[in-house]
Amino acid sequence: MAVRLEKQDSIGFVVLDRPPANSYDRAFMEELGAAADEAARDDSVKAIVVRSANERFFSAGADVSVFAKSDMDTQNAFVVCANESIGKFESTPKVVIAAINGHCLGGGLEIALCCDFRIAAEGSYRIGLPEVTLGLLPGTGGTQRLPRLIGRQKALDFMLRGTTSFHRASCWIARPSAPVPTPRVRPSRSAASSSRRCRVSACGSTRA
C-alpha cells in the first residue's frame, strides 16, 4: 500500500510510502482518504500525524504521468478525488499535524496545508508550489489555503512564479518554535537513530 495508518499510543500516523518521491496517483489518494477516515472514526486515536516513510521527500505532489497519459475526464476525476481525500484532514474534529521531513512540493504542500499544524525537520529541502513551471496551477486547494496562511502577495509569488524555497526561508509556512526531537515526529527505527532535530510550527489552521 502507498498509504497506511499506524497507531502508537493515542496517535494515528498516516504514513506516505510511494517511492521514490511519494508522488500520488488516484489509488494513492483513495488510500489516503481511507486512512483519514479510519483515523477519524477510531475513538482511541486522539490526534493524527501525516508523515513520510521517505527520508528525502514528504511528497512531490501529483504524478505528472497521470496528466500525460489520460484524457480530460480522467484528469478531472483524479483532481476531484484528490480534493475530497485531502479535505478529510481539514474536516475531522481531531487535530492533524503534518510532519515535513523532506521536499514538500505542489500537491505535497497542499496536503500539509490541510493540516492544523506543520512541523518542519531541519535539513536541506524545498517547499513550494512549482506547478506553473509545468503549465499548470495548484489543483488541490493551494490557491485558497496558502493565501490564508501567508497572505495574498507571498502566495501569489509562489503560485505565479513557481517559487520554491529552502524550509528555513519558508518559516511563514512552517514557522519554527521550540525544537522537538525527530523521533517524537517519526517513530521509526531510522528516525530513532537520527541526530537531526525538528521545529514545531507555530502556524494556525488554514480552514475557512
By annotation, the residues acting in catalysis are 110, 131
The torsion of the CA quartet 63, 2, 79, 142, rounded to 10 degrees, works out to -80
Coil, strand or helix: which one is 45?
coil
Bond into 20 cis (ω within 30): yes
Reported as type and span, the H/E element at residue 8 is strand 3-8
Cell numbers that stand for 170 in this block = 519558508
Supply the DSSP string of 121-155, one letter for each residue: ESSS-EEE-GGGGGT----SSHHHHHHHHH-HHHH
Alpha-carbon distance 43 to 33, whole Å? 18
